[in-house]
Chain A
Amino acid sequence: MEFNRLTIHELQKKLRDGSLTSVEITESVYRRIASVEEKVHSYITLMEESAIWQAREADRRIKEGKAGELTGIPIALKDILCTEGVRTTCGSRILENFIPPYDATVVSKLKDAGAVLVGKTNMDEFAMGSSTETSWFGITKNPWDLERIPGGSSGGSAAAVAADECIASLGTDTGGSIRQPAALCGVVGMKPTYGRVSRFGMVAFASSLDQIGPVTKDVEDCAIMMNVISGHDINESTSVPAEVPDYTKFISRDIRGWTVGIPGEYFIEGIDPEIKAAADETIKILEGLGAKCLEISLPHTEYCVAVYYIIAPSEASSNLARYDGVRYGFRTRDGENLLDMYKKTRSSGFGAEVKRRIMLGTHSLSSGYYDAYYKKASQVRALIRDDFDKAFKKCDVILTPTTPAPAFRIGEKLDDPLQMYLFDIFTLSTNLAGIPGISVPCGYTKSGLPIGVQFMANHFEEGKLLQIASAYEKNSTIERRRPNL
C-alpha cells in the first residue's frame, strides 16, 4: 500500500485504531524516495536509519497510549534548520561539512511531538533564490514537469510533499520561499506571522523577514503542524509571547459574512491569464460560500520588490559575515595570511547568487549610500505596512494569486537576476509587513501545471487563513491530481 500518499490526519486515525504502524508508513516513504528521488532530487541528506528507529519508538508509544500530535508521522526538514548530529548545509559549499551541536527549536518541537524525521531537503543556497537552482548540491525538479523548477527557496520541501516523499515538511519564508514553491508544486504552504514560530537554530538569511512554516498536502495538516511549531521561545528574542490557539478548531468553520479584500495592484497586466482565471474562479466560490468580495487598494505594492531587494541583501551581508572559515564550515587551504584566507574561503565557499546579494547588501549599507538605499527602503517599508493596516480595517482577509505565472523552465531566469526577483512580486509584501500568508492549490494550467491562490491576514490571524483556506478547499471543484512520476 502507498501509505506515503495519505495526509497527517488520515494517518493519525489509522495509527490510533491500530490498522497501520509507523514502521509501515516510514518504509513506504523510503520506498517512494528510492523510486523517484533520482528524478526529483528533493533531498540533500536522508536520515533513514534514525527514522526507522524513531518509527519503532513511535509504534511502542502508540501501543502504550502515549501518542503525541505527530507520533509516527514522517516529516522532512529544510536543510536550513539545525539538527543535532546531522549535517546542515543550507545548500552551500561553505557549510558542506557542518554538523550542528544542537537542534533548532522547531526540530525539538517536532521530536517532542513524536515525528519521524525523514531527511533534510534541498534549497537555494542560503535560501536566496526562487527556483532551487542555486544549491551547491544540485537542482530540484518540479514533480509535475521535470523540465521545470519547483520554485524556491524551499523547493525541496515542496517537491518532497508533492511527490509523496514525505507526509509534510518544514520550509522557511523570507520573501515567499514557502508559499511560492507550494503554489508551483500544488501543495499547501504557510508563512506564519513574524515572531509566531521561533527562529532559534534556523540559519539566518534576513533576520527581520525570516519565518519558519509548514508545507502540507492539505489545510488541516497545515493546522496540525502549526499547533506543534508555534509559540514563544526564551532562546529567541523576536519570538512573541502571545497565546497560541488550537489551529485545528478553525477547520470546517464557515466564512459566511466575511469580507475578502481583492487588491487591484495584484491583478495587473502581465500576469498569466490562466493564473488570473483561476483566482477569479476562487473568488466566485468564496462568494458562493457567503463571503463578500471587496476591491481594495495597497498603493505601495509596486515598490515591494525594490524595498525587499535592498533590505534582504543588507541583512544577509551582515548575517553571512560569520562564514569566515574559522569556527566551522569550509576553509581553503591556500590562504597566505588571515585576510587572504577569509577572501579565498568566502569566494569559493559561496555561489554566484549569494555573492551577488552580499555585494548588493554591502554596497547598500556602505558609507555614503546608507541613506539612499537602506534607510529609504526601511521608510517605504513603513508605508507598505501601513497599507495593510488600513486594508484590514475594511476586510477580514486579502486574496491574491501566489505567483504571476506557473513554474518556469530550468535555466530560464538564472542569468537575469532582476527577472528572477520579479517572480516573487506577490509574496514579498507579507514578509515586509510581518503578516501571515498561505498558498492553497486552486487549479491547473492547460498544460497541467499547478496554480496557487494566496490569502493574507493581519498579524497573528493565522486562524482566519486556515478557516478560509479550508472552506475553499472543501468546496472547490478542482479535481485532485497527482504528479505522474
Chain B
Amino acid sequence: MKITKKEVGYVAHLARLDFSEDEKGKLTSQLNTILVYMDILNRIDTAGIQPVTHAISLDNVLRDDTEKKSIGAEIALASAPDGNMGFFGVPRVIE
C-alpha cells in the first residue's frame, strides 16, 4: 500500500476537503494505482541533479515601484458570497 485510507483522511484535512467513507475507499484505491505507477521514477539515479522548477528561468524580475489605480473595495467585494458593509463575511471563527 502506497497510501492507506487513514492517510487519505489526513491529506483530505490538509487540503480542506471532506469525503464520505465510500469516497475515501474509492480514492484510496485510485491513488494507490497512480502512486504505484510513479515508482517508475525510482529507476533513475537523480543524485546531484538540480531540480527544474521553471523551464524558462527568469531571475529578479523587477519593476518600478509606482502607484497604480486599484479596483476599489466595492468591485473587490462584488463577487463575494457575503460581502456586506465593506467586509468579507465569514462564519464564526472563535467560539
Binding site for B on A (CB under 8 A): 97-102, 193-195, 208, 234, 237-238, 240, 300, 302-303, 305-307, 309-310, 317, 321, 324-331, 335-344, 346-347, 350, 355-356, 358-360, 362-363, 366, 373, 375-383, 385, 417-418, 421, 432-435, 459
Contacts and interface: CB of A to CB of B under 8 A. Distances in A.
23 contacts: A99-B79, A101-B75, A208-B53, A237-B58, A240-B56, A309-B34, A317-B15, A328-B81, A335-B91, A337-B92, A338-B90, A339-B16, A340-B91, A358-B17, A359-B15, A359-B27, A359-B31, A379-B50, A382-B49, A383-B44, A417-B30, A417-B34, A434-B55
Contacts of A195: 56, 58
Given A237-B61, A307-B41, A358-B15, A194 B54 contact: yes
A432 B55 contact: yes
Contacts of B84: none
B52 interface: yes
A379 B80 CA distance: 40
Contact of B78 (A99, A340, A360): A99
Interface string B38-54: 10111010100111111
B79 A338 contact: no
Nearest to A432: B55
Given A341-B90, A385-B55, A306 B40 contact: yes
Contacts of B1: none
A327 B80 contact: yes
Contact of A382 (B14, B35, B51): B51
Nearest to A344: B18
B93 interface: yes
Contact of A373 (B19, B38, B61): B38
A373 B35 CA distance: 9
A377 B41 contact: yes
Interface in B56-83: 56, 58, 61, 63, 71, 75-76, 78-82
A303 B40 contact: yes
A235 to B, nearest CB: 9
Contact of B16 (A307, A346, A376): A346
Contacts of B92: 337-338
A337 B52 contact: no
B8 to A, nearest CB: 7
B27 A346 contact: no
Contacts of B8: 359
A363 B54 CA distance: 21
Contacts of B35: 363
A375 B52 CA distance: 9
Contacts of A433: 55
A303 to B, nearest CB: 6
A204 B43 CA distance: 32
Nearest to B74: A101
B46 A326 contact: no
A302 B17 contact: no
B10 to A, nearest CB: 8
Nearest to B77: A327
Contacts of A378: 51-53
Contact of B12 (A193, A344, A359, A421): A359
Given A344-B18, A381-B52, A418-B33, A303 B41 contact: yes
Q: Which among B34, B35, B78 has the greatest number of chain A C-beta atoms within 10 A? A: B34
Contacts of B19: 347, 355
A309 B82 CA distance: 36
B89 to A, nearest CB: 9
A330 B81 contact: yes
A346 B63 CA distance: 36
Q: Which of A234, A362, A421 has the most CB of B within 10 A?
A: A362
B61 A101 contact: no
Contacts of A363: 3, 7, 11, 31, 35
Nearest to A422: B37
A193 B56 CA distance: 9
A380 B46 contact: yes
B16 A306 contact: no
A123 B26 CA distance: 25
A325 B16 CA distance: 12
A407 B34 CA distance: 23
Nearest to B20: A347
